[in-house]
């Protein structure tokens, strides 16, 4: 089929769910299938839809990282033997979630990470049973949103992988206290992920809904908890039908399964569909093309009964295991009533006496909740699909501080979507409703980095609690009431979706003693909003140029409540009064004020205040901007305004100096480390009074303060009473903030690479990414040919490839007619290479990379005489060209024996970091014969990198001395490099693209097709509305064709 752009009304869909229990038992598959299940929800909406971008979050107990002795981890509490440790979870869990997203082909653009464990009021609190949350947004055509109430006789189909004896009782096990079940049953309840087959199934779904009204899918449902025993009945119940199923038709991977195991296993990567018998042939053709298994399992019936028989008439050995009325299975159960009591906690104020700012400044930055999250981010693809605008990495130094993700609605316009997460769960130990309000508010202050309008915001609420524990049910009730019935109506925003997990406790025995860790009531809020225009999005990156001022907008209105803060955690305290959103109007006014200032063009940077308080927010802004900051806290430590409240600062006369000094120190710590709601903005100094006037119009000026300025001395310093009370090099603070990521990376990845990246974090002499061009990117070298014929280019893909859409658009925008050519099309004869003038092998995970990256794809050519001959003939035509990107690069390298002039190309193998690398890297275009890179030589341009096997290995194939190099990694000073992470895979000389002597064949590991617009770049100095310099590659190809 030919790729064609079309305009249509599409809606944004959103979903967030947890996978806590499986992640506690087996973190990698638990998190992997958590991500996969949420992705299926996005694809199984209405009559079919498309997942677009994801979020991932984790809450765990103390990490106890080897080689550290943190004060907050001094009193170890233990855990059940068969439950993974928090450190195991945070090493393996993120890899599992990232691997599924990467291989399926969905960018992960945001999330959160919290570490919390402490004893409060005699009770051990924490996340031995972790939170693993997966969420995201997708798109659905307006014509496909409603499922069809299908008639009797409709075919009921399972699409996707086979059933296995895995995930047995997963949903039931998830509802138990962690550690309470037997180890054998717990491990039986964990599922396994296979993202490659889910990719295949999603391609079938995409083809179906792409037909519009001719879509053969009448209704679709994902298979999750309960397996097909839940999915099929819900599918037919939605149409008001019964159903008859044939147990023997269910595809299985293994024999000997009992009927309950066949019907109830939670094997992943499956969907159930309703399809009319007359459209089965076209559906079958789509599945055959994608090599996606499916089976007709049953038919809808008029009689509202659920019948499961072994054979059409139950003649098989298992007879008829199920024959029951539908309303018995899916009828409304009686409402549960609970008689619960509130529990009053006895809490003491935080004691700040004698605490040193010099020590706390570093301790807070080093706490995992505040510290850099880069170890979670660089393992996850953030650009696949070509519709990412804002990911977690910010600025020329790619610092992970963005709390708001932004996607593009399409490949040409500037509409988009924004999403963010918010949670403040430690506050719930003392005041669960306040924690709920703060979670909603934090999600919105995070989202406010995007140009949102509050009425467009929708929330997903994921509720978690240890129901049954004294006071927890009442706390949950109070929080739901506070958020759902009071705060959200006051803000004018809705909560259309959410889920719950109500067994958030871990129980076990140790030495004959019963032990328990109980999570606080935990509300994780995910906020979504559609954007009319992505321009105007802000980041925390401080601007070093010009005279600027930092302004704190304090929605806590000077209360400086400390309970539940990271400050109290690192000092082994809790506190008494927690931060709260005392008046919803404050938050509404903040949104309105920031929106107004954004429209006026007066904002240079924006960051919300959250974990770690003002101190963490300002440090993160400084890290992102690679610039020092001078803070003055005088206005923040003044008690009273001298008129209405004239509290004086004096003490006993004989200790006056000591008491005043200690009081000032305490006030300074409160000002810097309280985690009240608020935001820090950077504005030009010459308009700062106008900014305050705008804030005054929204009732915010009384608690908005000038707090400092950037400095060019590379230090972060705090001034009070006309003297410096703290000063430290920015690089030292950055190193402390990076410590957790470094230590986890050392355990998980190649330690040498982890050391190299940590050493580079915050380096003062790093000039950052830059753009140096030897050509004018605005010049369209293909323009003279655009009104002529459009040459045909085959966008080649194999099962598991996931970067074909953005490639097709980039080629079409350059003047080609792009065709979707699956390898099965070539194998069956539906398409032939001699019909095309160009071919592009796209990125992804062909065959799941199980034979080595790109190797399986290449062998499907080399081991098929007919295809090998066709490819060789195509390659030998003088008028053809071929481009291979990432997985396509690996595939072309494996085909080098039949590509003229490619005999010196290397084999691409495992990255030296031993990890998947997703980065915005700087490359230099070399002088080479490549038709794609003509006129670009000497340019240095940032480009997206997303691969696990990009090391150019000449020991296995090729000739490093003779190869035609076309592109190489350079450091931020422009020098070719093998140093990590500037060179993400360690290739010799920085090599990352090769070509042939005639230039018709080019293979490169980075992804130009994902950044052909400046709007797709995580950082660029280019104009956001324009094509990026990388579009020149595709235009060069069109010019070469002539």
Do 554 and 505 meet the contact criterion of CB atoms below 8 Å apart? no
Tokens at 13, concatenated? 């869909």
Between strands 792-797 and 817-822, the pairing is: parallel
Nearest by Cα to 24 from 369, 525, 740, 507: 507
35-61 exposure pattern, b = at least 16 Cβ within 10 A, e = fewer = bbbbbbbbbbbbbbbbbbbbbbbbbbb
Is 1009 annotated as catalytic?
yes
Q: SS3 of 549, please? A: strand
Tokens of 250: 């269910």
CA–CA distance, 74 with 178 (Å, rounded to integer)? 24
Distance CA 712, CA 344 (A): 51
Paired residues of 941 in beta bridges: 923
- State the chain's maximal CA–CA distance in angstroms: 98
The three-class DSSP label of residue 779 is coil
Identify the residue whose tokens are 């019907």: 263
H-helix or E-strand containing 204? helix 195-209
Residue 964 annotated among the catalytic residues of the structure: no
The tokens of 371 are what? 């510290």
Residue 842 sits at φ, ψ, to 5 deg, of -95, 170
Interhelix angle 428-447/472-480, rounded to 10 degrees, is: 30
CA distances 924 to 766, 771, 883, 969, 973, Å, are 17, 10, 18, 6, 11
3-class secondary structure, 406: strand
1007 given a catalytic annotation: yes
3-state secondary structure (DSSP) of residue 380: coil
CA distances from 825 to 196, 546, 819, 829, 832 (A): 19, 59, 11, 6, 8
> For 252, which DSSP code?
B
**What are residue 710's DSSP bridge partners?**
629
Using alpha carbons only, give the angle 424, 430, 433 rounded to the nearest 5 degrees.
Answer: 60
Q: Where are the beta strands (DSSP E) in 810-962?
A: 817-822, 838-841, 881-885, 907-909, 917-925, 940-947, 951-953
Determine the Cα–Cα distance for residues 301 and 306; give it in Å rounded to an integer: 9
Choosing from 73, 675, 806, 1009, the catalytic residue is: 1009
**Residue 246: which H helix or E strand, with range?**
strand 242-246
Q: Which of 886, 889, 917, 947 does the annotation list as catalytic?
A: 886
Helix and strand numbers (H, E) in the chain are 29, 41
The helix (run of H) or strand (run of E) holding residue 836 is none
Out of 221, 607, 734, 1007, pick the active-site residue.
1007
Three-state secondary structure along 450-506?
Answer: CCCCHHHCEEEEEEECECCCCCHHHHHHHHHHHHHHHHHHHHCCEEEEEEEECECEE
Do β-strands 881-885 and 1001-1004 pair in parallel, antiparallel, or remain unpaired? parallel
Catalytic residue numbers? 886, 1007, 1009
């Amino acid at each position: 089929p030919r790729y064609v752009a079309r305009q249509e009304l599409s809606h944004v869909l959103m979903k967030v769910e947890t996978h806590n229990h499986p992640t506690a038992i087996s973190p990698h598959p638990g998190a992997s299938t958590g991500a996969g299940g949420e992705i299926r929800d996005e694809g199984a909406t209405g009559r079919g839809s498309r997942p677009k971008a994801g979020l991932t979050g984790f809450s765990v107990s103390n990490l106890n990282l080897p080689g550290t002795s943190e004060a907050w981890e001094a009193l170890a509490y233990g855990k059940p033997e068969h439950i993974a440790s928090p450190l195991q979870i945070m090493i393996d869990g993120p890899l599992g979630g990232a691997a599924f997203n990467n291989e399926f082909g969905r960018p992960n653009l945001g999330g959160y990470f919290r570490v919390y464990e402490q004893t409060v009021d005699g009770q051990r609190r924490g996340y031995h049973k972790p939170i693993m949350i997966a969420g995201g947004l997708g798109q659905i055509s307006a014509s496909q949103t409603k499922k069809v109430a299908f008639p009797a006789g409709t075919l009921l189909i399972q699409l996707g992988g086979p059933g296995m004896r895995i995930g047995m009782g997963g949903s039931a096990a998830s509802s138990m206290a962690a550690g309470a079940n037997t180890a054998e049953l717990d491990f039986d309840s964990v599922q396994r992920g296979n993202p490659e087959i889910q990719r295949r199934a999603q391609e079938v779904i995409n083809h179906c809904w792409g037909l519009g009204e001719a879509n053969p899918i009448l209704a679709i449902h994902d298979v999750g908890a309960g397996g097909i025993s839940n999915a099929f009945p819900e599918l037919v119940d939605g149409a008001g039908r019964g159903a008859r199923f044939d147990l023997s038709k269910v595809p299985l991977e293994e024999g000997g399964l009992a009927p309950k195991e066949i019907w109830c296993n939670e094997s992943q990567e499956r969907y159930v569909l309703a399809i009319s018998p007359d459209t089965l042939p076209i559906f079958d053709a789509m599945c055959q093309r994608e090599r996606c298994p499916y089976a007709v399992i049953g038919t809808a019936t008029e009689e509202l009964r659920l019948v499961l028989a072994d054979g059409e008439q139950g003649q098989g050995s298992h007879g008829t295991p199920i024959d029951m009325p539908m309303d018995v299975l899916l009828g409304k159960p009686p409402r549960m009533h609970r008689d619960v009591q509130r529990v009053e906690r006895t809490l003491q104020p935080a004691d700040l006496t004698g605490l040193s700012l010099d020590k706390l400044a570093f301790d807070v930055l080093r706490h995992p909740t505040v510290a850099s999250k880069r170890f979670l981010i660089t393992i996850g693809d953030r650009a696949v699909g070509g519709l990412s605008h804002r990911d977690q990495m910010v600025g020329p130094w790619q610092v992970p501080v963005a709390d708001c993700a932004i996607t593009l609605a399409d490949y040409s316009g500037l509409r988009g979507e924004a999403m963010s997460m918010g949670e403040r769960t430690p506050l719930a130990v003392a005041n669960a409703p306040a924690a709920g309000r703060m979670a909603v508010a934090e999600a919105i202050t995070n989202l406010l980095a995007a140009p949102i309008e509050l009425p467009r915001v929708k929330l997903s609420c994921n509720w978690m609690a240890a129901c049954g524990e004294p006071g927890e049910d009442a706390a949950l009730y109070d929080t739901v009431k506070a958020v759902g019935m009071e705060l959200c109506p006051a803000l004018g925003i809705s909560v259309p979706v959410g889920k719950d997990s109500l067994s958030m406790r871990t129980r076990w025995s140790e030495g004959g003693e019963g032990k328990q860790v109980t999570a606080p009531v935990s509300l994780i809020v995910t906020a979504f909003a559609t954007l009319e225009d992505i321009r105007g999005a802000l980041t925390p990156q401080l601007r070093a140029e010009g005279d600027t001022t930092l302004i704190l907008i304090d929605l806590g209105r000077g209360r400086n409540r400390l309970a539940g803060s990271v400050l109290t955690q690192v000092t082994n305290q809790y506190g008494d009064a927690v931060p709260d959103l005392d008046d919803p109007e404050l938050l509404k006014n903040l949104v309105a004020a920031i929106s107004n200032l954004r429209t006026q063009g007066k904002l240079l940077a924006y960051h919300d205040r959250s974990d770690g308080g003002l101190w963490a927010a300002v440090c993160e802004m400084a890290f992102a901007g690679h610039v020092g900051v001078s803070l003055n806290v005088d206005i923040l430590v003044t008690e009273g305004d001298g008129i209405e409240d004239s509290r004086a600062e004096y003490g006993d006369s004989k200790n006056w100096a000591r008491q005043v000094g200690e009081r000032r120190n305490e006030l300074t710590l409160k000002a810097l480390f309280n985690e009240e709601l608020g935001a820090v903005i950077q504005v030009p100094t010459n308009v700062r009074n106008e900014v305050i006037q705008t804030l005054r119009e929204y009732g915010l000026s009384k608690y908005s303060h000038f707090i400092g300025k950037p400095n060019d001395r590379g230090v972060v310093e705090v001034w009070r009473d006309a003297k410096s009370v703290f000063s430290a090099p920015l690089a030292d603070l950055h190193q402390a903030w990076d410590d957790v990521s470094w230590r986890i990376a050392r355990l998980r990845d190649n330690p040498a690479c982890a050391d190299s990246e940590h050493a580079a974090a915050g380096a003062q002499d790093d000039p950052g990414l830059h753009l140096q061009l030897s050509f004018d990117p605005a010049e369209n070298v293909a323009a003279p040919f655009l009104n002529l014929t459009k040459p045909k280019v085959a966008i080649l893909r194999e099962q598991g490839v996931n970067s074909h859409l953005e490639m097709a658009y980039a080629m079409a925008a350059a003047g080609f007619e792009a065709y979707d050519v699956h390898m099965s099309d070539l194998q069956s004869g539906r398409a032939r290479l001699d019909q095309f003038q160009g071919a592009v092998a796209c990125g992804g995970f062909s065959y799941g990379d199980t034979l080595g990256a790109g190797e399986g794809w290449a062998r499907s050519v080399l081991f098929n005489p007919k295809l090998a001959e066709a490819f060789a003939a195509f390659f030998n035509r003088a008028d053809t060209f071929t481009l291979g990107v990432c997985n396509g690069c690996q595939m072309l390298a494996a085909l080098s024996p039949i590509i003229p002039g490619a005999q010196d190309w290397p084999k691409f193998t495992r990255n030296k970091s031993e990890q998947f690398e997703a980065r915005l890297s700087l490359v230099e275009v070399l002088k080479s014969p490549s038709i794609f890179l003509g006129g670009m030589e000497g340019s240095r341009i940032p480009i997206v990198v997303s691969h696990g096997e990009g090391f150019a290995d000449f020991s296995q194939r090729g000739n490093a001395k003779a190869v035609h190099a076309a592109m190489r990694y350079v450091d931020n000073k422009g020098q070719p490099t093998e140093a990590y992470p500037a060179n993400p895979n360690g290739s010799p000389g920085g090599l990352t693209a090769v070509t042939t002597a005639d230039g018709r064949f080019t293979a490169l590991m980075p992804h130009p097709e994902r950044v052909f617009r400046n709007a797709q770049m995580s950082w660029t100095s280019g104009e956001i509305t324009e094509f990026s310099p990388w579009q020149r590659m595709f235009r060069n190809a069109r010019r070469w064709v002539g």
